[in-house]
Chains A and B, each alone.
Chain A
Amino acid sequence: MLTNPLTKNIGAEDVATDLQTYRDSDGYGGWLRALKMSPDELTQLVQKAGLRGRGGAGFNTGLKWSFVPTDRRAHPVRYLVCNADEMEPGTFKDRLLMERDPHLLLEGIAIAAHAIGAATAYIFIRGEYHLATQRLQRAIDEVTESGLIAGETTSLDQPLQIYLHCSSGNYICGEETALLNALEGKRAIPRAKPPYPQVSGLWGRPTVVNNVETLCNLPHLLLHGAEWYRKLGRGEDSGTKLFGASGKVNNPGLWELPMGTPFREVIEHHAGGLRDGLTLRGFLPGGGSTDFLGPQHLDLPMDYDTVRKAGSRLGTGTITVLDEATCPIGLVLNLSRFFARESCGWCTPCRDGLPWVVEILQRLENGEGTTNDIELLREHTARMGPGNTFCALAPGAAEPIQSALKLFEQDFIDHIQGGGCPFH
């Protein structure tokens, strides 16, 4: 049985799989199977298979689709949007899928579009992903010309159109409602929810926004079935996922592994452990907006709920490794500077709180910190937490800070008592 559906076409050579090669190995077979199903059946299948959103939130994909109104006459126009705005610090997984197997993504898009009755799909891609953009556009041209997805094929009996939108920058575009504003040609500022995009999204139409990797899971799920897909996972969650590791490890990279693989296996086996004899202080499990975990968490299986129960989030599943020779406060400062710069400025805790946090952390690094600063940081993270802002940027920014205060508290104290950064 196939155990690496996401990367089976990706070889050592840096080339994109073309349409012919893709079709020769079952390509677009999942799409042809999806066409024989009604949108409802398709949605139920994906829901039952337990595919969860790979952008970081881990929401059940089929369930997300099911919120789209079923009344076709009342809602004739619907949109599918592929979120390819990969900009979470430490994350580099969607790039690989788009650069190397663009048709896998396009087939996934076609399947999802059929499920929600969309005749138009947009791929919202980072402006900096030049190679991925070029290869995706070539693949879109190939498949459009072939007539495979542009015939009588969608559930609306209209040809499916896939358009690329190259972003003009900003991290906040990855937030799904900010992304929709950007697609509408506005400043990318998140929208108040509800209404959720599934009901009122792009130009007020029912819209589903799915991550690149999520969509890439669909073709083989359709080909091999929900049972097969569930069994791919080693623990609670279904399927495989791209897991990665970066930082001071011997072999930084990306590997397709079953959901539920323990962190230790990625960091010690696949990434080859820490380089130069360094030891592990902690790690961000899935990007800059996830809470730090420590060496005591290495044997946790990488499943969404398990990682959440341990006090963090699986996020994007690309691990950033923190070693003993790197200052945890310096790293948190780096991340906070990023979030402060990327705040859209709508909500006060984010717009005003983040620059304050940067200032406090910089003070600690400069040796000008006081014991009061630790309390101040705690206060800020609480204010930036969930429920106080319209989107998840500030709560995400708070995660590495609040967990660093717990896991590396002694480092904060050392910075204050020692009059500066002991790592310099």
Chain B
Amino acid sequence: MTNPTGKVWQRIPARQEGPAPELSTEEIRAIDEERSHYENDAAAGLEALRIVQRARGWISDDSLRAISAYLGIAEAELEGLATYYQLLFRRPPGAEVLQLCRSSSCWILGCEQLQGWLEQELQVRPGETTADGIFTLLENPCLGACDRAPVMLLGEALHTNLTEEKLREVLAEKRRRHADQSAD
């Protein structure tokens, strides 16, 4: 279901009861490093969400509870952050997060047609993950590479001067890699 701005509403899974799950040693080390940069621990909450997402791909209920217990920040506060910030995911994304730039410059140079092609090819709408679990399609407001429009971010890699042909190649390459991995 989408609202008039095109944002996809997300269903948040029900909460689990029980003892707080734990953070990994690496996560704790990274969070402690970050909290030393700020005046108080509340500021580290947002950093902790990023750190945990980096390690686990998304922020589950368990992750929220673990951060809450470690930093002493209310779960509701963390939930408020996780649902507010666009780059924090409360549902698991696919193995490859594809952010297509929707900026004015990319629009002038045909990002809408590319998005149409992508949605057809992947059989998803923005905010959704492909049936094989490989790709999640997201719209990005502006990736700041307008001189090389149209552009997208695939994971951490910026792909520029996109065409349907280029998209086809990039997707095929990623699919090959995932097929090889599952064959191993």
Beyond A95-B144, A252-B146, A318-B146, is A338–B102 a contact (Cβ under 8 Å)? yes
Residues of B within 8 A of A254 (CB): 147
Mark interface residues in B41-53 (1 if CB within 8 Å of A CB, else 0): 0111111011000
Residues of B within 8 A of A338 (CB): 102-104, 141-142
Are the C-beta atoms of B86 and A247 separated by less than 8 Å? no
Residues of B within 8 A of A170 (CB): 84-86
Mark interface residues in A88-100 (1 if CB within 8 Å of B CB, else 0): 1111101100000
Contact of B103 among A90, A183, A185, A358 (CB under 8 A): A90
Query: Does B20 sit within 8 A of A, measured CB to CB?
Result: no
Query: Does B143 sit within 8 A of A, measured CB to CB?
Result: yes
Mark interface residues in B1-17 (1 if CB within 8 Å of A CB, else 0): 00111110000000000
| A185, A202, A354 pick with most chain B CB within 10 angstroms | A185
Which stretch, B116-124, B128-136, B148-156, B169-177, touches the partner chain A? B148-156
Shortest CB distance B163–A (Å): 15
Query: Does B87 sit within 8 A of A, measured CB to CB?
Result: yes
Are the C-beta atoms of A244 and B85 separated by less than 8 Å? no
Residues of B within 8 A of A130 (CB): 156, 158
Q: Helix, strand, loop or mixed for chain A's interface? A: mixed
CA distance A355 to B158 in the complex (A): 30
Question: Which residues in chain B, 84-123, are within 8 Å of chain A measured between CB atoms?
Answer: 84-88, 99, 102-105, 107-109
Are the C-beta atoms of B104 and A89 separated by less than 8 Å? yes
Query: Does B60 sit within 8 A of A, measured CB to CB?
Result: no
Contact of B4 among A86, A182, A322, A358 (CB under 8 A): A358
Beyond A89-B142, A169-B86, A355-B4, is A331–B45 a contact (Cβ under 8 Å)? no
Query: Does B80 sit within 8 A of A, measured CB to CB?
Result: yes
Residues of A within 8 A of B50 (CB): 127, 166, 168
Shortest CB distance B153–A (Å): 6
Contact of B43 among A185, A321, A331, A334 (CB under 8 A): A185
Q: How many A residues touch the partner, as a band?
A: 35 or more
Shortest CB distance A394–B (Å): 14
Q: How many B residues touch the partner, as a band?
A: 35 or more
Contact of A92 among B5, B40, B146 (CB under 8 A): B146
Are the C-beta atoms of A331 and B108 separated by less than 8 Å? yes
CA distance A131 to B153 in the complex (A): 12
Query: Does A246 sit within 8 A of B, measured CB to CB?
Result: yes
Residues of A within 8 A of B43 (CB): 183-185
Contact of B153 among A122, A128, A326, A337 (CB under 8 A): A128
CA distance A355 to B3 in the complex (A): 9
Contact of B105 among A167, A246, A341 (CB under 8 A): A246
Question: Which residues in chain A, 335-386, are within 8 Å of chain B measured between CB atoms?
Answer: 335, 337-338, 340-342, 354-355, 358-359
Query: Does A198 sit within 8 A of B, measured CB to CB?
Result: no
Shortest CB distance B64–A (Å): 14
Query: Does A294 sit within 8 A of B, measured CB to CB?
Result: no
Closest Cβ neighbor of B54 among chain A residues: A166
Residues of A within 8 A of B76 (CB): none
In the complex, besides A126-B144, A330-B107, A337-B6, 6 extra interface pairs with C-beta distance below 8 angstroms are: A128-B99, A128-B140, A244-B146, A248-B108, A288-B103, A318-B146
Selected A-B contacts with CB under 8 Å, 28 pairs: A90-B105, A90-B146, A92-B145, A92-B146, A94-B144, A95-B144, A126-B144, A127-B87, A131-B158, A166-B50, A168-B49, A168-B88, A169-B88, A170-B85, A171-B141, A183-B38, A184-B42, A185-B47, A186-B46, A186-B81, A248-B108, A252-B146, A288-B103, A288-B142, A320-B104, A337-B6, A355-B5, A358-B4
